Amino acid sequence: MSKDKLWGGRFTQPTDKFVEEFTASINFDKRLYQQDIRGSIAHATMLGKQGIIPQEDVDAIVNGLNDILAQIEAGNFDFSVSLEDIHMNIEARLSAKIGDAGKRLHTGRSRNDQVALDIRLYLRDELVEIMAYIEKLMDSLLFQAEENLSVIMPGFTHLQTAQPILFSHHMMAYYEMLKRDKGRMEDCLKRTNVLPLGAGALAGTTFPIDREFVAEQLGFPEVTRNSLDSVSDRDFALEFCSASSILMMHLSRFSEELILWSTSDFKFVELTDSFCTGSSIMPQKKNPDVPELVRGKTGRVYGNLIALLTVMKSLPLAYNKDMQEDKEPLFDTIDTVKGSLKIFADMVREMKVNEARMKNAAGGGFSTATDVADYLVRKGLPFRDAHEVVGKAVRYCIENQMDIPELSLAEWQVFSARIDADIFGFITLEASVNARKATGGTALERVKAEIARAREGR
């Protein structure tokens, strides 16, 4: 029979064994034990304050829950699939320990608002930790930017050499991405940090509860305003998975560059041995497995977002069993993001930069062609005409297997009489980089200012 179920009064037949295993969530939601106990202690304290249950029962409940917490953390708690989830496992153990007082704990609440509370508490804790990991990676980027402040590298569009830039400028580009990622996590935290407990199953409760008191105990600045929405809302989890997908996309883009840069063709950077592996057959290989795996895990996080969106897309109000499927995508995203950020921060800090190789590559591919066009504009030629002049000069270089810096003054003047000997001061890599002084540019003075701004702003 279903007498072993805390909800079994209405049932006359036992739950099918496979159904029991299929519908249970304890194998993955047991990680919510701390949040479940914290929420239950706050709820019981409120019930006592409001005179809904006797104070002696509150004391027994709180002491019992703290004992259960210690048991779980010591590894001495046997979780039962037949009790379905973390809430019922803890409540059943509590009632077994303290008797009828434990059975009064669930007064004025439902598993629907209880699980909504647990997930919000859990995600709130994890968001704080994830933001700390983001800041650690941002610090690693600042470290690399400061250590390699004047290193010149080729900037790319379409993966073709475009213009010379500073490596430090490139690192600061990822800093800006992560700054936005952190901002999205902060915004997500605001909407996560709202108390749903007190909504009951869907309509609220007939007991004179004090939701604001519970919110104060648990550190929530506000409570939810609609009981239906309170138990059926998973927007905060979707928002986290969305923000995480963007974050992982940024890490994947960075991974792709690190993979390219560490090849024998580029040799721009070297990842330390701690973050690479070898080949089982080719003894010379040093494979960038960490960035490759982060690049791969990005798809996993995208999948979690789509899975959760799909779960929620056609659910009528209020709670539905489908929503049990919210936890595994959320938990997996949390674990993946934390692991990726942690390993990335250490890997980037230890990365070695090949300054000579980068600068040599920056000098190829006609990377200062735009500077010649800008030079001609300053001499009074309209930009489109200047663009055409430089395009012809580049074609001449290609036909003669030359690069822009190798052209003589006489050759330059074939293309435009406006070109004088001062042209050579405009087409060095250093001149090209440092001419871009507008806010956000790659000039050394601008990059220094952005690094200082980053150091001061955090």
Q: Which residues are catalytic?
A: 158, 279
**CA–CA separation, 281 and 3 (whole Å):** 61
Amino acid identity of residue 96, one-letter, is A
Written as six digits, the tokens of 162 are: 């475009």
Taking the C-alpha atoms of residue 132 and residue 139, their distance in angstroms, rounded to an integer, is 11
Distance CA(291)–CA(296), nearest Å, equals 9
Query: Which residues on neighbouring strands pair with residue 152, listed in sequence order?
Result: 166
**3-state SS class at 242:** helix
Q: d(Cα 328, Cα 80) in Å, to the nearest integer?
A: 19
Q: Render 98-124 in DSSP notation, one character per residue.
A: HTHHHHTTTTT--HHHHHHHHHHHHHH
3-state class (DSSP) for residue 384 = helix
d(CA 199, CA 340): 36
Whether 261 contacts 351, CB under 8 Å:
no
Closest CA to 168 of 134, 135, 142: 142
Are the C-beta atoms of 171 and 186 separated by less than 8 Å? no
Q: What is the 3-state secondary structure (H, E, C) of 331-366?
A: HHHHHHHHHHHHHHHHHHHHCEECHHHHHHHHCCCC
With beta carbons less than 8 A apart as the criterion, state whether 390 and 366 touch.
no
Q: Distance between CA atoms of 192 and 318, rounded to whole angstroms?
A: 19
**Crossing angle between the packed helical segments 86-98 and 111-147, to the nearest 10 degrees:** 120
Name the 3-class secondary structure at 156: strand
Residues 2 and 13 sit within 8 Å (Cβ to Cβ): yes
